[in-house]
Amino acid sequence: MSEPMAFPAAQSSRIQGLLLSLAALSLAPVQAGVMGAAPAKPMPEAISVSRKAATAVLEKSGTSSCLTGKLTNALLGLSSSCEAQGDRSPLCELANQAAVTTGWSMEFMERTSKELLKLSDTPVATTP
């Protein structure tokens, strides 16, 4: 009695997998590359959010886990904005590098925050 019930569940799982595969294939390559990434904001906004997160880290305005989350989210957002604009500046490279680094220590976050503030001190040029 249990065998017939297992078959539909397995078949359903296969169908779901097939549908997900087909959906992924139907996406344009650019969309597939940024799925799951933070939404791209205008660069000045992404930089502002990143600067606030970096400042919070340096001022130790919260628990370590809160600061890690704040800085991680900010850098992921900045990285997405850089990608959307095709920006390869040192600031964007820092965001990209930090976003893929695992096991952030407080020391790493402080170094990254200082570098982020230094690199983002220059006003962002706007594209007409």
Distance in angstroms between the alpha carbons of the first and the last residue of the chain: 69
Q: Calculate mean pLDDT across residues 17-46.
A: 55
Does the pTM surpass 0.95? The reply is no
Helix axes 90-99, 64-85, angle to 10 degrees: 130
The answer to whether 46 and 77 are in contact (CB under 8 A) is: yes
Average pLDDT over the chain reads 77
Please report, for residues 20, 37, 85, 89, 125, the alpha-carbon distance to residue 128 in angstroms, rounded to integers and kept in the order given. Answer: 39, 26, 13, 19, 9
CB atoms within 10 A of CB 33: 11
Band of residue 16 on the pLDDT scale cut at 50, 70, 90? low
Tell me the per-residue pLDDT of 57-106, one tens digit each, with 9 for 90 and over: 999 999 999 999 999 999 999 999 999 999 999 999 999 999 888 889 99
Tell me the per-residue pLDDT of 101-115, one tens digit each, with 9 for 90 and over: 888 999 999 999 999
Q: What angle do CA 42, 43, 48 make, to 5 degrees?
A: 105
Res 121: pLDDT: 87
Res 39: pLDDT: 78
